[in-house]
Chains A and B, each alone.
Chain A
Amino acid sequence: KNEVEQSPQNLTAQEGEFITINCSYSVGISALHWLQQHPGGGIVSLFMLSSGKKKHGRLIATINIQEKHSSLHITASHPRDSAVYICAVRSISYNTDKLIFGTGTRLQVFP
Chain B
Amino acid sequence: DAGITQSPRHKVTETGTPVTLRCHQTENHRYMYWYRQDPGHGLRLIHYSYGVKDTDKGEVSDGYSVSRSKTEDFLLTLESATSSQTSVYFCATGGHNQETQYFGPGTRLLVL
Among B19-27, B37-45, B60-68, B72-80, the stretch that binds chain A is B37-45
Indicate if the CB atoms of B105 and A42 lie closer than 8 Å.
yes
Indicate if the CB atoms of A101 and B56 lie closer than 8 Å.
no
- Per-position 1/0 for A1-41, Cβ under 8 A of B: 01010000000000000000000000000110101000001
* A interface residue numbers (CB < 8 A to B): 2, 4, 30-31, 33, 35, 41-45, 48, 50, 86, 88, 96-104
* B interface residue numbers (CB < 8 A to A): 1, 31, 40-45, 48, 50, 56, 58, 88, 90, 95-103, 105-106, 108
For the A-B complex, the count of residue pairs with Cβ-Cβ distances under 8 Å equals: 57
Docked complex Cα distance between A87 and B88 (Å): 18
Docked complex Cα distance between A45 and B94 (Å): 12
Told that A86-B42, A96-B50, A101-B44 touch, could you supply 15 new A-B pairs with CB distance under 8 A? A4-B42, A31-B98, A35-B103, A43-B90, A45-B100, A48-B100, A97-B31, A97-B48, A97-B50, A98-B58, A99-B43, A99-B95, A99-B101, A103-B42, A104-B42
Partner of A45, one of B44, B98, B102: B102
Contact partners of A42 in chain B: CB under 8 A: 103, 105-106
Indicate if the CB atoms of A48 and B98 lie closer than 8 Å.
yes
Nearest Cβ in chain A — how far from B94, in angstroms?
A: 9
Question: Residue on B with the closest CB to A104?
Answer: B42
Contact partners of B43 in chain A: CB under 8 A: 86, 88, 99, 101
Nearest Cβ in chain B — how far from A31, in angstroms?
A: 6
Indicate if the CB atoms of A44 and B103 lie closer than 8 Å.
yes
Nearest Cβ in chain A — how far from B44, in angstroms?
A: 7
Which interface residue of B50, B56, B96, B100 has the most chain A CB atoms within 10 A?
Answer: B100
